[in-house]
Amino acid sequence: MDEKQYLYCLMRAGFLGAVAIRKIYEYFQSFSGIFNIEERELKESRLLKERQLRLFLEWKSRYQSCLEEYKRLSARGILFVSMLDEAYPSRLLGIYDHPAALFVKGTLPEDAPMVAIVGARGCSAYGEQLAEEYARVLASEGVGIVSGLALGIDGAAHRGALRGGGKTYGVLGCGVNVCYPSANYQLYESMMEQGAVISEFPPDVQPKANHFPMRNRIISGMADVVLVVEARERSGSLITAELGLEQGREIFALPGRVTDHLSRGCNLLIQQGAHMAISPNDILEYLGVKYQKKLILSEKNIKRLAKKEKMVYSCLDFIPKHMDEIVKESGLGVSECMTVLLELELGGYVYRTAGQYYGKRM
Partner 1 sequence: MFSKVNSGGLRGIEGYLVQVEADVSRGLPGFHMVGYLAGEVKEAEDRVRTALRNAGFALPAMKVTLNLSPADIRKEGTGFDLPIAIAVLASYGVVRRQSLTGIALIGELGLDGTVKPVRGILSMVLALEELGIRRCFLPAGNLEEGLVVQNMEICAAHNLQQVVGCLAAPGSVQVETGTKSQETEEIPVYSVDFKEINGQLLMRRATEIAVAGQHNILYMGPPGSGKSMVAQRVPTIMPSMTFQEQLEVTKVHSICGMLPPGRALVRSRPFRAPHHSISSVALVGGGRIPTPGEISMATRGVLFLDELPEFPKSTLELLRQPLEEHRIVISRAQGSYEFPAHFMIVVALNCCPCGYFPDRNRCSCTQVQVQKYLNRISGPLLDRLDICVEAAPVTYGEMRECADNEPSAVIRKRVEEARRIQRERFADTGIFSNSEMSIRDIRIYCRLEEEEERFLKQTYQKMQMSARGCNKILKVARTIADLDGAERIRCSHLSEALGYRELNGKYWGRR
CB of 278 to partner 1, least distance (A): 22
Query: Based on CB atoms, which residue is closest to partner 1, 189 or 246?
Result: 189
Q: Is 307 in the site for partner 1 (CB under 8 A)?
A: no
Q: Is 306 in the site for partner 1 (CB under 8 A)?
A: no
H or E element that contains 7? helix 3-13
CB of 235 to partner 1, least distance (A): 11
Helix (H, G, I), strand (E, B) or coil at 253: strand
Q: How far is CA 244 from CA 34, 138, 320, in A?
A: 33, 19, 32
Helix (H, G, I), strand (E, B) or coil at 130: helix
Q: Is 288 in the site for partner 1 (CB under 8 A)?
A: no
What single DSSP character describes residue 301?
P
Q: Which of 57, 278, 295, 334 binds partner 1 (CB under 8 A)?
A: 334
Q: Is 54 in the site for partner 1 (CB under 8 A)?
A: no
What is the full DSSP assignment across 29-43?
A: SSSSGGGSS-HHHHH
331-335 long-range Cβ contacts below 8 angstroms, 24+ apart = 332/308
**325: buried, middle or exposed (CB in 10 Å: 19+, 13-18, 0-12)?**
middle
Sheet-wide strand order for 357-360? 321-322, 357-360, 350-352
Contact pattern for partner 1 over residues 83 through 102, marking x by CB under 8 A: --------------------
For residues 245 and 223, give the distance between their C-alpha atoms in angstroms, rounded to a whole number: 12
- Beta-strand ranges (E) seen in 133-187 are 144-147, 168-171
Q: Is 346 in the site for partner 1 (CB under 8 A)?
A: yes
Contact pattern for partner 1 over residues 109 through 128, marking x by CB under 8 A: ------------xxxxx--x
> What residues from 151 to 210 belong to the interface with partner 1 (CB under 8 A)?
151-152, 181, 183
Q: Is 317 in the site for partner 1 (CB under 8 A)?
A: no
Query: Based on CB atoms, which residue is closest to partner 1, 15 or 357?
Result: 357
Do 204 and 73 form a contact (C-beta atoms < 8 A)?
no
Q: Is 343 in the site for partner 1 (CB under 8 A)?
A: yes
Only one of the segments 17-25, 26-34, 50-58, 331-339 lies at the binding site for partner 1 (rule: CB under 8 A); that segment is: 331-339
Name the amino acid, one letter, at 322: H
Q: Is 355 in the site for partner 1 (CB under 8 A)?
A: yes
Q: Is 322 in the site for partner 1 (CB under 8 A)?
A: yes
Q: Which of 90, 261, 314, 331 binds partner 1 (CB under 8 A)?
A: 261
How many CA atoms are closer than 13 Å to the CA of 128, on its beta-carbon side?
18
For helices 3-13 and 64-72, what crossing angle results, to 10°? 110
CB of 148 to partner 1, least distance (A): 15
CB of 123 to partner 1, least distance (A): 7
Q: Which of 97, 242, 317, 336 binds partner 1 (CB under 8 A)?
A: 336
- Interface residues with partner 1 (CB under 8 A) are 121-125, 128, 151-152, 181, 183, 232, 259-262, 320, 322-325, 327-328, 334-336, 338-339, 341-343, 346, 353-357
